[in-house]
Structure 1
């Protein structure tokens, strides 16, 4: 299937045909990663951002937190800079 690139501001773009949208399960507003393949083609992959879950309870969110307050020493590779040095 051929598509034609067109100028869109300072970028180039093309219209994704409806048949590709249906077959690929693409959705308007969804974020995708665009990669340049080794053969010079383009790959469009779903973005792997965490999905907000409105069905999760506050208790479930808090269950993974430690009972004691976190200290700077508990954070891997933490290097204090700025005002926290005075604490």
Structure 2
């Protein structure tokens, strides 16, 4: 099936035909991963989302975090750049 690229602001896009939307159960607002294949094609796959765990307590979510605030010096391989140099 052929589709035509059209301009959307500074980007390009195409309309997904209704038959594909129905067949693949696509919905507006879904997120996808877009990759260029070795042969120059384009592959579109559903984006994986992190699993939401409503069964975790706030204590479990925060377990392992230090009690005291983190400092830049505590971050591995941190190098200040730009305006951070003036702090």
TM-score by length of 1: 0.58
Range moving further from structure 2, 38-47 or 70-79: 70-79
| Alignment partner, residue 42 of structure 2 | 42
C-alpha distance in 2, partners of 1:78/1:5? 42
1:7-86 paired onto structure 2 within 5 Å? 7-48=7-48, 50=50, 53=52, 55=54, 56-67=56-67, 69-80=69-80, 81-83=85-87
Q: What is the CA-CA distance between 1:73 and the residue it aligns to? A: 4.0
TM-score by length of 2: 0.58
Runs of 4+ aligned structure 1 residues displaced above 6 Å come to: none
RMSD, matched Cα:
3.0
Task: Call closer, same or farther: CA 1:10–1:57 in 2, change over 3 Å.
Answer: same
List runs of 5+ in structure 2 lacking aligned partners.
none
